[in-house]
Structure formats: C-alpha cells, structure tokens
Structure 1
Amino acid sequence: MNRLADETHFVAEVDVYFGNKEASMRKPIATLVIERLHYTVPDSTDIIFRDASLHAALGKVALLGENGSGKSTLLSLIAGQISPFEGQIHLPASILLLEQSIIGLATAWDVIGLRREADIIQSCLRGNGSAKDLEAADSLWTPWNDWLEIAAEFGFDEDSLGKPLTELSPGQKQRLLFVKALIRDPDVLLLDEPTNHLDREGREQVLSFIRNWKKALILATHDRELLEAVDAIVVLEQKRLRLFTGSYQEFEEDRRRIQAKREHDLQSAEQSLKKTLAVQRQSLERQQKRSQRTAANSDKLGLPKILLGARKENAENTSAKLAEKQTGKVEDAKQKRKDSQSLIIEAKMIAMDLPTSASVKGRMLIEAKGLNISFDGKNYLWTQDVDFCIKGGERWQIFGANGSGKSSLLKLILGELPPSRGQMIRRDSLNIIYLDQELSLLDRKKTVLENARRLATQDLTDSELGTRLARVGLGGDNRFKLVTHLSGGERMRLALACLFSASASPDLMILDEPTNHLDLSSMQELESGFRDFKGALVLVTHDRQFAEAVACRNFLNL
C-alpha cells in the first residue's frame, strides 16, 4: 500500500493504491478525474464544492462526509444528472446511479427500465402482439431469458416483476435495484445510502452484493460494515475532496492521528501569536520610554530647536519602523493560526446534554408476560408469545425483519396499544422518553427554536435553549430555520436536543432506528453519550456496531 509522508495517505490528486492484496492485484475498471470543481446549490449562496480536485483509479470507493457535505450531489454530478458550475468531471465509462427513491414508478419493470421491452414480450406470449411487436421480439428473446434468470437469483419470478411496487417490502425493493444493476451491467455503479431503513437481512443482502460486485463502485454511506468492504475512501470536507488509500480501520486510525496533529499545530500557532503580541507590546513600551527619556534629556541640555526636531523625527521614524516590523510579525502569526484553524475538521457532532436518571439499577421497569396482539381478533402477530423484563440501567436491542411487529411492540411498551393476550406490567410513575423513526415530535412548520421552546419541560431560558441547540450544530441563524428545511441529520439532532430538554430524569429511553440519518461523527458521539447514560435504554436498530458500542447486553428478536 502506498503511504505518504506527513498527512499519511490523505491526498488530493493521486491514484488509488488499494489497501489489500486482492484489491491491489485487481486492474481498475476506470479512472475518475475531477478538476477544480465548483458547485453551488441553485438559487442559493450555499457552496457545496470549491476548487475540488480528485484523481482516482476506481475499485470500490466510499464517499464519507458530514450530513450536507455533498455526497448525494457528487454522485449526481458524476452520473451527469446535474452539471458543475465550474470545472470538469471525466469518467470514460458507462455509469448507473441507483436511486433509493422509486416513488412514482408502477412496477418492477419500471424500476429496471425495461417496461417497454417487457410489454412487447408479454404481448407476444399472450398471442396478441402486433407485427411490430413480433419484429422487435426477435432480438429480445435471448436477453429476456437472461433477465428472468438474474431476477430469479433475487427471488423475483415473471409474475412478481409485474406487481405494483406498493406490494413489495423495503428489502424486496432493495433487491430489485440489484437486479437492475446486474441487468444494466454498468462499468461504474453508484449507490447512495443503500442500507437506510433496511432490516438485518436487507443489510446483509446489500453487503453481500457489494462484496460480490466485480466492477467499479462508488458508495455514499455511513454504514461501518459497508465501509469495511471498500478499498478506498474519499472524504468530503471543507468543500474539497481528500482521497484515503487503505482500509476503513486504517482510515480511522490515520484520521485520529491527523486530527491530533492539526489540533497540536493550532495550539502552537495560538501560543506563538500570544507570544508575538506580548513581544510587540513590550517593544513598543520600551521604545515609548526611550523616546520620553530622550525628550527629557534634550530639554535639560537646552539643544537648539532644529536639533530637537531632528532628534524627535529620528525617534518617530525608529518607532514607526519598529511598529511596522512587529505588526508584520503579528500578521504572520495570525495567518499561521488561520491556516491551522482551516485544517481543523469542524464536524457538527452531537454534544450530548444527557439528563440524569432516577431509576435504580436492577429495579423492574417494564415486564411482558405472554404478550401478543391481534388486529382482526383471530390471527396473532407473533407465532410465539413475547416475554421480557426491562430493569433499571439495562441496555436492550430489539430487532427483526421489516413487518415483524417492532413498532407494535413499542406501542405496547408505551401504553398506546392494549395487548390482545398476556400482560404488560409497568412500574408506577415510570418516566419514558421516546423517539420514533419519523421524528413526529417535531412540528415541521415551526422553527428550530420554536420546537425547542414547545418541547422543553425543564425551566430553560431562550439563551439556555440556544446553547443546547448550538451544541448539536443548530446555533446562530440555524435557530430560526423551519424544521421542514433541515436535513435528516439536522432534524435528528434537534429531536435529541428537545428530548434531553424535556425530561430531567427519565427512567427509560426508547429510540427507533436513531442512526438512520446521522453522519459517522454524530453517530460516534451518540454512542459515547449513551454509554454515559445511567438509565435503561431500548434501541430498535439493525446497526450491529452501534448496539455493541452502547453496550447492549439484552436482545429481543421478533
């Protein structure tokens, strides 16, 4: 693996040298060249990229950056869906961007982009194809069988490919995108957060697909399991692109080292500026005292006015030169500090203001005995009744396939739904704070600050609320943004800040897929904060690493 001096292998314009033997032996499919890219959000002053350049021989590459750093925008630029304001992007290869949103499309064939071809073949098979259909079908029979074979590998037969998309689960829709990728067979495949909203099985399917993909791939993700499957990482920071050549584990180690070095350089620059300012002040004070002594001595000596004027002018010139010299040193020191500050990664991480918990460790909070639910009075949701007991200080992970009843179980725990069978026992005066996937506690028509005011039950002033909002990256003018204009990650940070301001001492916190919209830095800060929380924690998540990081020791698989 190619390792570079100083900032190791964070570089702006080099080829990717893959971080493992298998990858390094693989011949790159294509080379992506980005030259002095500049892009601004249309009808806005928000700059996404400024003078960004990159030269990468593509294998399997991940895009990594904060929410709002431009990952999806970069994929759209590479795919040619939008154009840069300035600069150029060169990628001489066939490209396919797999859109995660397939709203508005009727059937699987529409998603794959072969609806017309499917209609022709099916018309001919039914015996009602036109002469034009029969002619077109001659060249379609062989690829048609190939398409059906690929679809079958992912669990789709010919009938299911014609079904409305509304009848497909999130996992099936994701598999359908894989079918599209294999049928279209691009040189370069682009994926944008492919594991969002997927259950464990769906996440495993995505991981398997990426590992087995034989061509080039560019992946925008914060899923650490997917990051471990790539050969290189492109970091989007400070409106530029930085290429890392190596594994994700090496990336994390080097990022910490580089960040520590940058912080040390900034500290040194600040100390140097402070020292330079002190020297400037002392030098000017000494010169001023010398000038005063010279003036006093001149008066005593009774020198002629013309000589006194010459001495005064000489002293003033000396003072001016000294001041100019010291000012230059101060400006140099300020510039060094500015340069050091510009290299510091100012990620909008969640600074956790976690409330304390009044719950006693090991004390029963919620207990389910023979629990089940039926929506029609006949069929029960779970084939086996559910039993569990949540105690103070415990960490629980609830997981299961989409449709397995996780949301229904949470409603039972919260008392929003009565059990059809069994018992749900809650401790008296139980204080629970709950965050659902849709962040429905937020009023999207109100501003950030208005939501914080509305939800805060603690006696907090606007100034205190503003401080808490600033600690989750929503201070300053962001306080007055409408929630509907926030990114998914910003809404998540706001919801957490509001929750932590709403209860002084929760016994139990319940979070439903809390990492779906968080960038990696925020996710890691969230993990750190929850490790320090003393109350009980219930997570509905399929992120195995997140559950491990917050020390989940109790598991419920529905």
Structure 2
Amino acid sequence: MSQTLLRVTNLAKSFGWYTVFHNVNFILSTGEKAALVGPNGVGKSTLFRILAGLDEPTFGSVTYLSDRVTCGYLPQYPEFGPAATAVAVLSAEEAMLGAAARATAAEALARFGFSGADANLPAEHLSGGQKTRLALARIWLSLPDLLLLDEPTNHLDYEGIAWLEGFVRDYPHTVLVISHDRYFLNQVAGRILELSPNGITAYNGNYDNYRQQKEAAFQQQLRNYTNTQREIKRIEAAIDRQMRWFLAAHRRAGQHDFYRSKAKKGAQRAKATIKRLERLKERSVEKPKAQAAISLQLDQEQRTGNRVFLATDLGHAYSRPLFRHADFAILHGEKVGIIGPNGAGKTTLLRLLLGEEQPTWGNVWRTPSLRPGYLEQEMESLDLSATLLDGVLSLLPVRTPEGRQRTCYLLASFLFPQETWCKPLQALSYGERKRVALIRLLLCGYNVLVLDEPTNHLDLPAREKLEEALRAYDGTILVVSHDRYLIQNVCTKVLCIRDERIEVYPGTFNEYMNWRRAQEAVRHSRQRTT
C-alpha cells in the first residue's frame, strides 16, 4: 500500500486584497500520477510554486513525508542562459548534484534525444519542445521524489507528447501535472484534482472519468436541490392549510372550552410544522450552478462550391524542402485536420492554401466564392495597443448600433465583464487574447474556417465549447492542432505532413494512426523477410 508523500492543509493564497484560492486540502501518495486542472486564472501555477517551495502561502501548510523528500519543478517557460548549450546545462547540473546525481550528463543527453549537433546549440536556438526536454533532462538527473510539470505538452508535437506520456507513466516516483491536453491526461492521470477559488475536489480516474463523475455529481446535486424545494413547498402548503383551519376553528369555538382546546392543538401542530420547515431551510443548499463557460455558436456559412481547394503537384521549400508532389482536394463540408511534427510545414500549408504565400512547385486552385476566416497561431492580427472593445469593433466595415450590440453580446458570452472592455489587449492573458481572436472570427460572415492551433492557451471548459461548436458547424474547416482530442472528435479527414510528403487519409485521427501503424508493421515485415 502506498504511503502519503505530502499533505496540503487549509492552504490559501492572496495578493493584497485579492484571494486567489483558499481552503485547499489534498494528499499525494508515493508513486501516484495525478493531474491538477481548473480554469485559467484560478491559481494552478501559483499552487505549484508553493509546493515547490518557491512561494509562500498566505495561510495553511504543506507537509512532506520526511525532510529527505526532493521536488523537481518544470515551469511553463523553462529558462536557460542564452548562450548555454544542452551539454553545458546538464554538465553543470551533474557537477552541482555531485554524488546525488542519478546519472551522467552524457546519459541524460542520449535519453532525452539530444544528438551531437543539438547538444551544442545555444539555448536561444532551441525549439520550444527542445527546451522542455532539456528542462526535464536537468530534473531527471536528480530523480526527485515529486515531479511537478506545468503544461509540459506546450510546444511538443505528437511524437514529443507520445514520448512524454511514456516518460510520465514510467517515472518511478510521484508526478503531479498541470495540462489542458485532454488526450494526454487520459493517458497518464490516475486521479484528477480540480482547483477552484474555494478549494480542491478530487476525482479518481483519468480525464474522461473526471468529466463523467463531475457531471453525475452535478446532476445529483440538482436532484437533491429540486427534491428539497419540492418538500419545502409541500410543507408551506401544509402550514397554510393548518393555519387557515386554526383561524376558522378559533372563530367557531367562541367560549366553548372543548373547541377552543381543539383549535389550540391545531395551532401547536402548525407551529411544529413551521419549525420543521425552518430546519429544512437551514439544511438546504443553494441551487447548484454549472461552471461558467464561454457561449460559442458559429453562424452557418454561406455556401461555397462543392470543391473549395485543389492542390496539384504542390510543394514548398525554404532552406530545405518541406513537402513536394502533393495532390489533394478539400470539398465543401469537410473538416480537415492537418498534423505533423514541429517544423514539418503545417502553418506554411495553410498560408499556401489561402494564397498568403506562393508555392515553390505546383499550384493551388481556390473556389471564387471563398471567404476564409483565418485564426493565426500567434494572433498577429491583434492590435495590442487597442482596447478590448475597439480591437473587436475594428473588424466591422461600418460601426452600426447593431454591430456594436452584437459585439457587446459576444464579449459577454465569452466571459468578458463590461468593466474589462476598456483594458488594452496587451494587458490580457494569452488565453483571453485567444478568446478575443475567436470573437473576431464570429463577427464576419466567413464560409471557410482556417484555424491554426485554436486551443492554445484555452482552458478545458473553453476547449470543450469550441469543440462542440466546430462539430455543429456545417461548413468547411481546416485546423492545425496538437490537441489530439480536438482532432479526433471534430475532423473527418487527415492531412499528415511527414518525410517531405503529404499523406491524405479519409477518416478520423485514430483511424489514420491505426492505418499508419499497420503500414509500418507491413514494411517492417518485408524488411525482415529480405
């Protein structure tokens, strides 16, 4: 039976007058793999910093099993000196650990995929995924008893995330991870801790189990509330009948002692019922409220022709070829997921299809009725100096009262209270900016949606609402995403860029991956026979 590794008791954190969270209580066991979830801004990263000893709680305590328990913390954005190389970072960590190092820098380099060339690249030239792996390698050298991973799937491609899943599952000690990647959580989490401003609720199982249990608990609370309110109304009706009977009996009794006594007993019964009602109201709870989430409904598109894009012998290169000799069509109503490793050319393919770049080889035909709405990964089209309201209104060709009213409705639907509408966009978090970009997408009558990493920086409730809206949309969608949950549940066709070519598969993400594994098995079998 596993032992308790740490216990968190009545933890609270405030910044000035603002309380981020309070009444946080939970335990972690040795060897456990758990996930911390919650909406943006609820304090997940703050809680991690407290657990790692980098910040102090306002109230409460974090108690470890013993003084010898070690903790490794991977922040969202790992920092290294700009000129530091992977070799230098890991060698310095090995020297600092001394006899406590569980492996050598050379072993860490090999295990975490740093080849000779990559190992000597300055950190400023490493990709986001490489920086994440380097930070994990540095932590792995000490093999801490508790591993805290804050959004570790950021910047990782599918192969990188699959590698990370194996790393977390095989890690010999306790892991607590913050992630908005639902597929990843399904693969690695054995327990979900949901953080809210009022504490933590624990759910056994992975992400899907958590969603089912949370919905079942909400429905049970709603039934309990409904039954209690029904009982309150029944008792109030009984009190009303008893009081009316008492008043009528009291008037009829006059000076007759027998009837006056009978009326008095009726009044006592009414008083007892009133006390029962008061006790029931004291025990009753407020009506449970569903978690606040964005309200997202995509306008149904204006019909394009049956064929939206046609690529013929398409290819593109920068310093090296990304892909070549690609032939495919995208038809009206198709929802196409574009996948591939980092640097394969996914965003470039979107820009080629939209005509924002010219191909090195081949050509792209577009339907003359094309009106694409493009959500860029880095949201370059946002003017960060504009206010929230003006940043959305600027898309309208003419500012009419109706346009302003629809804009205000969308801002409220996306959980922007009116007091925030005058904030500059640069003061918003990345998640809030992503919501602004989605609002801008909804304001104009586009007939094709082109989305580059649309779930980046969105919390779990927002991702689910976006997924629902995309599933219900009747038009054509092209989406680049590392969110496998989104690709699987929305897309009906897959374009995979790998090995300088584009594979086209008419099916879901899971069907494509099964087909790909089958193809690789056949190829390996042929290699063995030859």
TM category, shorter: 0.7 to 0.9
Tell me if structure 1 keeps the 8 A contact 2:90–2:137: no
Tell me if structure 2 keeps the 8 A contact 1:366–1:425: yes
> Which of structures 1 and 2 has the larger relative contact order (alpha carbons within 8 angstroms, sep 6+)?
1
Among residues 18, 26, 31, which one is paired with 2:5 in the alignment? 31
Alignment of 1:95-494 (within 5 A): 95-103=71-79, 105-106=81-82, 107-109=84-86, 112=89, 114-115=91-92, 146-156=104-114, 160-227=118-185, 228-269=187-228, 271=230, 329=277, 333=281, 336-338=284-286, 340-341=287-288, 344=289, 346-359=290-303, 363-375=306-318, 381-456=321-396, 460-494=402-436
TM-score, scaled relative to structure 2: 0.79
Distance 1:54 1:393, change over 3 A: same
Amino acid at match of 1:358: Q
Q: CA deviation at 1:84?
A: 0.3
Distance 1:392 1:81, change over 3 A: same
Distance 1:329 1:211, change over 3 A: same
User: Which position in structure 2 is the counterpart of 1:552?
Assistant: 492
Tell me if structure 2 keeps the 8 A contact 1:392–1:507: no
Aligned residue for 2:23, secondary structure, equals: strand
User: Which position in structure 2 is the counterpart of 1:50?
Assistant: 22
Distance 1:518 1:148, change over 3 A: same
Aligned residue for 2:141, secondary structure, equals: helix
Number of positions where the alignment pairs a residue of Structure 1 with one of Structure 2: 482
1:460-517: CA deviations, max 9, x gaps?
A: 35444333222222234343443333333332223212211x223x221011111222
User: Which position in structure 1 is the counterpart of 2:444?
Assistant: 503
Distance 1:258 1:173 in 2: 40
1:40-63: CA deviations, max 9, x gaps?
A: 1x2452x22212211232411111
| Range that drifts further, 537-546 or 219-228 | 219-228
Distance 1:258 1:77, change over 3 A: same
Aligned residue for 1:466, secondary structure, equals: helix
Distance 1:116 1:521, change over 3 A: closer
Aligned residue for 1:388, secondary structure, equals: strand
User: Which position in structure 1 is the counterpart of 2:523?
Assistant: none
Amino acid at match of 2:163: Q
Among residues 466, 472, 497, which one is paired with 1:526 in the alignment? 466
Distance 1:173 1:476 in 2: 39
Aligned-residue identity in percent: 27
Aligned residue for 2:104, secondary structure, equals: helix
Distance 1:282 1:484, change over 3 A: farther
| Range that drifts further, 515-524 or 325-334 | 325-334
Tell me if structure 2 keeps the 8 A contact 1:466–1:475: no
Aligned residue for 1:489, secondary structure, equals: helix
Tell me if structure 1 keeps the 8 A contact 2:78–2:132: no
Aligned residue for 1:429, secondary structure, equals: coil
1:402-461: CA deviations, max 9, x gaps?
A: 111122222212221122321111111311111111223333333333333223569735
TM-score, scaled relative to structure 1: 0.75
Amino acid at match of 1:471: S
1:75 aligns with 2:48: yes
Distance 1:356 1:331, change over 3 A: farther
1:207-253: CA deviations, max 9, x gaps?
A: 12112211111111122232231222211134301222334443332
Distance 2:434 2:85 in 1: 32
Tell me if structure 1 keeps the 8 A contact 2:21–2:196: no
Q: CA deviation at 1:370?
A: 1.6
Distance 1:159 1:467 in 2: 53
Distance 1:405 1:494, change over 3 A: same
1:231-279: CA deviations, max 9, x gaps?
A: 2221113430122233444333222211211232344455556667778
Distance 2:103 2:239 in 1: 82
Amino acid at match of 1:258: A
Distance 2:37 2:388 in 1: 27
| Range that drifts further, 327-336 or 237-246 | 327-336
Tell me if structure 1 keeps the 8 A contact 2:129–2:154: no
Amino acid at match of 2:54: Q
1:300-350: CA deviations, max 9, x gaps?
A: xxxxxxxxxxxxxxxxxx99xx99996995796487242x43xx4x43323
Distance 1:391 1:274 in 2: 57
Distance 1:155 1:290 in 2: 89
Unaligned 5+ runs, structure 2: 255-265, 499-530
Distance 2:103 2:144 in 1: 19
Distance 1:463 1:283 in 2: 53
Q: CA deviation at 1:520?
A: 2.0
Distance 2:201 2:102 in 1: 43
Q: CA RMSD in A?
A: 3.8
Amino acid at match of 1:220: I
Q: Which has the larger radius of gyration?
A: 1
Distance 2:452 2:59 in 1: 42
